[in-house]
Amino acid sequence: MTERVDAYAAALFEVALAEGRLAHVEDDLFRFARTLEGSDDLRSALTDPGLPVERRVAVVEELMGGKALATSAALVGMVVAAGRAADLPAIVDAFVARAAAERSREVAEVRSALPLDEGQTERLAAALGRATGKSVEVKVVVDPSVLGGLVARIGDTVIDGTVRHRLNQLKEQL
């Protein structure tokens, strides 16, 4: 499966690069993949073999239309039409890693209860870069279950700065 995921990620990357819209497509695909991961209904609809391919692609176009580049919607539609909707989050993660490598950066997936503004994202990228010794690009996922603070994942490294984690640490110390 990894070879297939990498092959799709490489194809999406080449299209986005050729279109000259790599960063924008990357953001669109990242948001769609996180939405797909967070919605059982959407995942079921896009992976349902009983639903005609045209309808599954129409669902993608409905969701992404006006909110994303036409290129991004077409790329997601292509993956769904090929029957790979279940692999889409992994394909997008490989795509994002490839795009970050193109810019000589590591990707930090940061989960936060609230959206971060550009200044906060830049400060966070600098702090994570200092903490890891790597050049870091931050992708924010708004996750209400975080409650407060942030969780950052850079490759295999997880930095948990959530209120829940700190309370658990205090509880263990007491």
* Contact predicate 127/115, CB 8 Å: no
Q: Please report, rounded to a whole number, the percentage of residues in the chain having pLDDT higher than 90.
A: 55
Regarding whether 164 and 135 lie in a shared domain, the answer is: yes
Calpha distance 102→45 (Å, rounded): 33
Domain residues for the domain of 157 are 105-173
What's the predicted TM-score (pTM) here?
Answer: 0.73
Average pLDDT, the chain: 89
Regarding whether 124 and 78 lie in a shared domain, the answer is: no
Regarding whether 111 and 90 lie in a shared domain, the answer is: no
| pLDDT, tens digit, 9 for 90 and up, residues 33-60 | 999 998 999 999 999 999 999 999 999 9
- Give residue 145's pLDDT: 82
Beta bridge partners of 150: 112
* Contact predicate 102/42, CB 8 Å: no
Regarding whether 125 and 89 lie in a shared domain, the answer is: no
